Amino acid sequence: MEKDFITIKTFTYPAEVTMVRSYLEMMGIETFMKNLTANRLGYTIGGIQMQVKTGDYEKAKEALIEGGFSKTEDFKL
């Protein structure tokens, strides 16, 4: 399953996730939150990774920028 998903954004706190996740799902983009439960319990290092299907990456990237949740430079190598 994870091979079909790619990390698009990383969060430090669970409270940051809700609005962004709802926004992407409202745009028809399925999300998977890696480390969300572990982070809530205090067991993770490296943050909560928001992942989207590989085929939705570009659409999700544009949605995050348009929604004000990310900047263009966040996606540059």
With a cut of 70, say whether residue 37 has pLDDT above it.
Answer: no
pTM: 0.79
Q: How many Cβ atoms are within 10 Å of 72's Cβ, its own excluded? A: 9
Cα separation of 12 and 57, whole Å?
21
Cα separation of 17 and 35, whole Å?
12
With a cut of 50, say whether residue 26 has pLDDT above it.
Answer: yes
Q: Structural domains in the chain? A: 2-70 (3.30.70.1530)
